[in-house]
Structure formats: structure tokens, C-alpha cells
Amino acid sequence: MSNSGEPISTKDTEEVIMEATFRALSKHGYGDLRMRDIGEEMDLTRQVIHYHFDGKYDLLSSFLEYVIDQYEGSVEVDADADPRAELDARIDQCLFGPEFEEFGHWDRMKVYHELYVYAQNDPEHRDIFDAHYDRIQGSIVEVVEEGIEQGTFEPVDAERMGQFITDIIHAARGRRIALGHEDAPAETRRAIDEFVLDSLYADG
């Protein structure tokens, strides 16, 4: 229970629950997670969870959206950046991730990648991941199209390029998490530079 005596807003309460879910998932994994595990990770009573969410599934769907929102919201790109600098920044942020106060990028990505595989059996989660994939791909397509328009990029198929870069980033993160290849993101960054971007740049 909170001892501060001050009322807590719904938004704050939901964030407390979301961060407790993070901690509980990190300890117990997705398959074995129980509502009580989440309750044990927060100072509010467990009833608060049931007030805000209609069961474990509803909570986990909200949690997935929370993780994705944080991830997407953390991508900061300088508005004045030219297409080449912006593309670089987007790739780096997706590969290496931003800093968070409590759980780091890799704690978050670990949960994300676990839920990603489960999405094959879960239409609602699949839709959430699908929309996220579209947005990440779309943000890369946009900057590639801009570069092509400005003549600094070769006239490639921008949709396909966006898909390719989104996929390879996902694979590098997945390999770091599943196989423990700590260097996977850095290796992939070099490979993207040498094998893909080098031929994308019109002056390359």
C-alpha cells in the first residue's frame, strides 16, 4: 500500500502496475506468470490490478502496448538531420536502444522477443506486433524515400529496404538475447554499413 496519503492518478497507477509486471516477467517468465507475482512486485494492493484490468490476458495485452509505446517513443531523431544521418540514428536506436531509468533496453527486449514468438497463437497480440512492425518499417521507408528524392540515395525499392533493415535489426537483437551473442548488434551495424548502406548511397 502507498503510504504517502496523496491520491494517485489512474495513469500513475497503471504505470506502477506495468513496471511491476516487468519485474514479475523478468523473474518468472511469460509461461509461468501469475497475477499474484505482479502483486508482489508493487506497493499497491493486488485489488488495484483487478480494478484496472480484466484478468491476466487483458493486463498482458496492455503491457505489450506499453513496452512498444516506450520503445517507439524513445526514438529521437534530429528534425534537421539529412536522410543519411537520420537513417543512421534510427538504425542505432533500434539496435542499441535508449537508456531507461529502471529496466534497460535488453530487459525490455527480452520480454518483447518472448511475447513475439507467442504471438503466433494469439490474434490480438499479433495485431499489436504487426502494427508496430509497420510503424518501424514505415519510419525507415520514409527516410529512404526522402534520400532517393534528394538524390543522395540510389533509387531502390524503399518498402523492401525498410523491411530488410527492420528484419535484420530484429534478428540481431534476437541472437543477442537467445544465444547470448553480446556483439550481435555491433556486428550487424557493421554489416549493414558494409553490405547494404554502402550501395544505397548514391556517392558510394
Q: Could you list the residues that contact its own copies (CB under 8 A)?
A: 29, 31, 110, 113-114, 116-117, 119-121, 126, 129-130, 133, 156-157, 160-161, 163-164, 167-168, 170-172, 174-175, 177-180, 184, 187-188, 190-191, 194-196, 198-200
Instruction: Read off the DSSP letter of residue 102.
Output: S
Q: How far is the CB of 90 from its own copies (least distance, A)?
A: 17
Nearer Cβ to its own copies (15/167): 167
Q: How far is the CB of 121 from its own copies (least distance, A)?
A: 7
Q: Which amino acid is at 164?
A: F
Nearer Cβ to its own copies (32/76): 32
Nearer Cβ to its own copies (54/183): 183
Q: How far is the CB of 146 from its own copies (least distance, A)?
A: 18
Instruction: Read off the DSSP letter of residue 120.
Output: G
Q: Is the distance from CB of 48 to CB of 38 less than 8 angstroms?
A: no
Nearer Cβ to its own copies (46/107): 107
Q: Name the phi and psi angles at 103, rounded to 5.
A: -80, 135
Q: How far is the CB of 28 from its own copies (least distance, A)?
A: 11
Largest interatomic CA distance in the chain: 63
Nearer Cβ to its own copies (13/185): 185
Q: How far is the CB of 100 from its own copies (least distance, A)?
A: 20
Q: Which residues contact 187 (CB under 8 A, 6 or more apart)?
A: 172, 181
Q: Which residues contact 24 (CB under 8 A, 6 or more apart)?
A: 33, 37, 38, 40, 41
Nearer Cβ to its own copies (45/199): 199
Q: Is the distance from CB of 144 to CB of 90 less than 8 angstroms?
A: no
Q: How far is the CB of 109 from its own copies (least distance, A)?
A: 11
Q: Which residues contact 114 (CB under 8 A, 6 or more apart)?
A: 29, 30
Alpha-carbon distance of 85 to 77, in angstroms, equals 9
Across-strand partners of 201? 153
